Amino acid sequence: MACGWPGGAVQPESWAAITTADSAKAALTNRIRKECRAMRSPGEAKRAERSEPSRASKSTPEDGDARKSTLSPGTLVVVSTPIGNLDDFTGRAVDCLIDAAVVACEDTRVTAKLLSAYSIHTPMVAYHEHNAARVRPQLIERLKQGQIVALVSDAGTPLISDPGYKLVEAAIAENIPVTAAPGASALLTALVLSGLPSDKFLFAGFLPPKGPARRTEIRALSSVPATLIFYEAPQRITKVLADLLSVLGPRPAAVARELTKRFEEVRRGTLDILAAHYEAADQPKGEIVILVGPPGTGRDSGQMTDRDIDSALEKALATNSVREAASIVAAETGLPRRTVYARALKLRGNPDEV
């Protein structure tokens, strides 16, 4: 599912109360388009008027906004959908779904409610990880025939933690035009709210569900000089934060959930503080994004003395091998692992093994 949450994710709560308001949403669609036109400069307005002759919309006939599709025949368009707040859906995204011959979606039940909210009557076809190999060739054939295909996920931007990239890859291989109607993204929303460095970041999706494999992957990411971003399920957050702390040390971090919804929450602090909080608190609800600062941003990491490093190593060596302890402290301090490993061997009385 995209921006995602895993397949079968709960439909954004804010959609439910809006799905019966077809006429209101048709009016809102019309208003969004008019407001966008009002923002154009006189020159842009003239160019748009020449390039947008009227046409009959597949949306409600009373929406009063006839226009020509800006999509070329046979285009695959990747359309972002709201992650919680229906008002985040863009006017261009609405137009793309109206213009499409078919909407490829993870769960037709979820997407049907979104389409209904905007009085969009475009047919849907299920496209998810369980049927992608079978449905993908069918979608490619539609595109070759000149049909416009829109790809959406249950919530957010397609291709983020879903099989959509394989459809895009296949379309590119066939020289089929691909474009996007960008919009909501849980990972980017969480990043800008986290207070962590945003100039470099790495999205790592979901960590493995089993502890040993999870810690191995965290170690592999420990030296990446960027903010790390993960998606996680509520029932695993306590164990995941504990593993992040054990491998990375008390780096600054943030936990974001229910983004753009009524009970949106972003909790910030070092990993030890966040791990302790969720260990004591009730299991959180909603989709979760975990963000961890890059190496060297841990507590007072820039002012650590040799004694501080040795103290950290002694603590890590109490429960880990020399190699593992060096990796943990190097990840926490941002120091070269080789340097930390040499100090760890010295503490263990084996300086000649460097």
pTM of the model: 0.71
DSSP for 111-139, written as a single string: HHHHHHHTT----EEE--TTTHHHHHHHH
Domain residue ranges in the chain: 13-35+69-184, 187-292, 301-353
Query: Is pLDDT larger for residue 124 or for residue 322?
Result: 124
**Does residue 16 carry a pLDDT above 50?**
no
pLDDT bin (cut points 50, 70, 90) of residue 11 is very low
Report pLDDT for 43.
54
Query: Is pLDDT larger for residue 8 or for residue 332?
Result: 332
Report pLDDT for 1.
43
pLDDT bin (cut points 50, 70, 90) of residue 102 is very high
CATH hierarchy code of domain 187-292: 3.30.950.10
Cβ atoms of 82 and 184 within 8 Å: the answer is: yes
Q: Is 81 helix (H, G, I), strand (E, B) or coil?
A: strand
pLDDT bin (cut points 50, 70, 90) of residue 103 is very high
Q: What is the pLDDT of residues 177-192, one digit of tens each?
A: 999 999 999 999 999 9
Gap between the Cα atoms of 85 and 262, Å rounded = 9
Report pLDDT for 145.
97
pLDDT bin (cut points 50, 70, 90) of residue 302 is low
267-271 long-range contacts, CB within 8 A, separation 24+: 268/194, 268/195, 270/298, 270/299, 271/241, 271/244, 271/245
Report pLDDT for 298.
63
Q: What is the pLDDT of residues 250-276, one digit of tens each?
A: 999 999 999 999 999 999 999 999 999
Report pLDDT for 63.
47
Query: Is pLDDT larger for residue 331 or for residue 302?
Result: 331
- Does the domain at residues 13-35+69-184 carry the CATH identifier 3.40.1010.10? yes
Place of tokens 């402290």: 329
Report pLDDT for 41.
53
Beta-carbon contacts of residue 130 (< 8 Å; ≥ 6 apart): none
pLDDT bin (cut points 50, 70, 90) of residue 342 is confident
Place of tokens 């790592």: 204
Gap between the Cα atoms of 236 and 246, Å rounded = 16
First to last CA, the chain: 46
Q: What is the pLDDT of residues 33-61, one digit of tens each?
A: 555 555 555 555 544 444 443 333 444 44
Side chain identity at 174, as an amino acid letter?
E
Side chain identity at 220, as an amino acid letter?
A
pLDDT bin (cut points 50, 70, 90) of residue 300 is very low
| Side-chain-side CA neighbours of residue 223 (13 Å) | 9
Report pLDDT for 75.
97
Report pLDDT for 266.
97
Which range, 45-54, 149-158, 302-311, is most confident? Answer: 149-158
Report pLDDT for 33.
55
Query: Is pLDDT larger for residue 252 or for residue 340?
Result: 252
**Does residue 349 carry a pLDDT above 80?**
no
